[in-house]
């Protein structure tokens, strides 16, 4: 079984500041890793994913994440945030085999960007 822990439920930052949203996972098997974003009153949208290869993954809207197998982490970063990045961000994992592609989500981190 897999589990995901998002260490911060809320992250307030000022516009143009850098941000890191933390995600740690637990799994007895190899996993794929994802970050989804949910804007207010909308569904979830895929931000980026790690399937294989380079551990640094770039996504939409200037976000990137780094897979660290030894620390079982997949932290999301952006060097300079905008007001429009205000949203809730979800980290998710899926077992590479036998899961039918099911996603296990973390509880989410609400990013609030202030002017």
Partner 1 sequence: DAGVIQSPRHEVTEMGQEVTLRCKPISGHNSLFWYRQTMMRGLELLIYFNNNVPIDDSGMPEDRFSAKMPNASFSTLKIQPSEPRDSAVYFCASKASGGPTQYYEQYFGPGTRLTVT
Binding residues (CB under 8 A) for partner 1: these are 32, 34, 36, 41-46, 49, 51, 90, 94, 100-103, 105-108
Closest CB to partner 1 among residues 34, 113: 34
Report, in Å, the least distance between residue 74 CB and partner 1. 14
Question: Quick check: 39 and 28 in contact, CB under 8 A?
Answer: no
Q: Which is nearer to partner 1, 13 or 32 (CB)?
A: 32
**Residue 70 has which token pair?**
């030894």
**Minimal distance, residue 41 CB to partner 1, in Å:** 8
In the complex with partner 1, the residue whose CB is nearer, 17 or 46, is 46
**How many CB atoms are located within 10 Å of the residue 96 CB?**
13
For the residues of 28-97, what is the DSSP string, one character each? SS-EEEEEEEE-TTS-EEEEEEE-SS-SEEE-GGG-EEEEETTTTEEEEEESS--GGG-EEEEEEEEESS
Shortest spacing between CB 79 and partner 1, in angstroms:
25
How many residues are present in the chain? 115
Closest contact distance (angstroms) between CB of 81 and partner 1 is: 23
């Amino acid at each position: 079984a897999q589990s995901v822990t998002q260490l911060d439920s809320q992250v307030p930052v000022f516009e143009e500041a850098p941000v890191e949203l933390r995600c740690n996972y637990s799994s007895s098997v190899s996993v794929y890793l994802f970050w989804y974003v949910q804007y207010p009153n909308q569904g979830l949208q895929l931000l980026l994913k790690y399937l294989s290869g380079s551990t640094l993954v770039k996504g939409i809207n200037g976000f990137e994440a780094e897979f660290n197998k030894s620390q079982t982490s997949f932290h999301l970063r952006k060097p300079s945030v905008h007001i429009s990045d205000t949203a809730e961000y979800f980290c998710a994992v899926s077992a590479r085999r036998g899961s039918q592609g099911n996603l296990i989500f973390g509880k989410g981190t609400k990013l609030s960007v202030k002017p």
